[in-house]
Amino acid sequence: MIASVREHHQRAQEKLSQKGAFVDVIKDVADRERMEAYSNNFFDYFPGNFNKLDGVIYAVGHCPPNGFPEAVKYPLSQLPLERYLNEINMHQVGVLNVFQCMLKNLKDGGCFVFISSAITRLKGQFPPFLQAHHYASAISAKDWLVEGMRHDPITTRRRIKVHRLAPVAVDSPFFDGSPRPPEIIPISTVVDEIVLALESEEIVDKQIT
């Protein structure tokens, strides 16, 4: 397993290394030039160990240090544009960059796994405290990119599966001290579903509850 993690997440890097993963540093999935350089030289970091990947898992997001209240504090009328652009970078530009750049590093019959969110299905049911429509809109667009990838002539010819997993809220310190979402699942449930998707011969498109 190769885990690409941002440099400042030292603890995650250590834990992943302890689990036997090769860990490398990724800077910004939204930066096309960097992503191209990263993907072109990908196997140079791991000489002799890999030459094609079975799967690529995309789990880019941003849980701000001050947790959920900080993430959802702005209604759309007051949302700083910078925040919206960041959502677009994480959930759309980065998704397209990783898909286009990493395709060559996947073996035929391999897969992508994109982590989406159950929030895209909450239309009309948002609790009053949840000012997260900017996030939901960026994630919904990610879902459409996934749909497009499934119909792409190169992925279909190469039998590459594009999976989408959409968890409800995941239990973490992110939700400490905030209104609890109605349903919270452990991270292990998401991990189990990712493993099942990686092993699946069929396209997986699933809400994780």
The Cβ of residue 54 has, within 10 Å, a number of other Cβ atoms equal to: 13
For residue 116, give the nearest of 101, 131, 133, 138 by alpha carbon. Answer: 138
Phi, psi of 17 (to 5 degrees): -65, -40
Cα angle vertex 4, ends 138, 91, to 5°? 5
E strand or H helix that includes residue 100: helix 94-102
Residue of minimal CB distance from ligand NAP?
A: 61
When the beta carbons of 59 and 85 are compared against ligand NAP, the nearer one is 59
When the beta carbons of 55 and 94 are compared against ligand NAP, the nearer one is 94
Residues 149-188, interacting with ligand NAP (CB under 6 A): 167, 169-170, 174
Least Cβ distance, residue 209 to ligand NAP (angstroms): 11
**24 makes contact with ligand NAP (CB under 6 A):** no
Interface map 70-89 toward ligand NAP (x if CB under 6 A) = -------------------x
Burial class, 155, CB count within 10 angstroms (exposed 0-12 / middle 13-18 / buried 19+): buried
Choices 25-33, 46-54, 97-105, 121-129; region in contact with ligand NAP by CB under 6 A = 25-33
Residues in the chain: 209
Residues 110-129, interacting with ligand NAP (CB under 6 A): 115, 117
**Site residues for ligand NAP per CB under 6 A:** 6, 9, 26, 28-30, 59-63, 89-90, 94, 115, 117, 139, 167, 169-170, 174
